[in-house]
Amino acid sequence: MSKLETLADAFYAELQDMYSAEQQLVKALPKMVKKASCEKLAKAFSDHLEQTKSHVERIAEAFEDTGKPVKAKKCEAMAGLLKEAEEMMAEDADPDVADAILIGLAQKVEHYEIATYGTLCTWADRLGYDAAKSQLGQNMDDEEKADKLLTKLSKDANAAAQAQA
């Protein structure tokens, strides 16, 4: 574990964490695409997979402002969220109920990402890392849009899941 003596140290550590988080998500999203029974939800996950790949690239570019190497540090928070998703996807659930669950799981991930990108953007601003702030801000905008889309999709998914009762 590295010593965190400055805000720049904390920024670099959190950037490493988010780099790992997005890489983990790139591996997990194809499973969510396959599990989704609603075409709109599967497409949303598929589209977000492509966005997530660009998020990984933007984070790599954001490292340039730190003057330190691009490096991932395992994001335990994302690992936990994705472990929970794996366990829930393994459950024997009605397809409509499974879609409602998938949306909830995906929104947990989005909210974690939004919170982390918000912190990183604030720190980048304080540190004068303008390029990093721009790259990370674009990622945060994507995550916020994904969350809003999931909220919209949840209305139909939740109604369909409720009809299974």
| 96: CB partners within 8 A, 6+ apart | 37, 157, 160, 161, 163, 164
User: Strand ranges (DSSP E) for 17-140?
Assistant: none
Looking at the chain, how many residues does it have?
A: 165
Rounded to whole angstroms, how far apart are CA atoms 23 and 148? 22
CB contact at 8 A, 65 and 131: yes
**In 36-75, which residue ranges form alpha helices assigned H by DSSP?**
39-62
pLDDT-based confidence at residue 1 (cuts at 50, 70, 90): low
User: Quick one: angle between helices 95-127 and 7-35, nearest 10?
Assistant: 160
Position 2 scores a pLDDT of 62
Task: Encode pLDDT of 13-68 as tens digits.
Answer: 999 999 999 999 999 999 999 999 999 999 999 999 999 999 999 999 999 999 99
Whether 164 has a pLDDT exceeding 80, the answer reads no
CATH code for the structural domain at 7-162:
1.20.1260.10
Whether 138 has a pLDDT exceeding 80, the answer reads yes
User: What average pLDDT does the chain have?
Assistant: 95
Structure tokens that stand for 158 in this block:
């939740």
Please give the average per-residue pLDDT across 114-125, as a whole number.
98
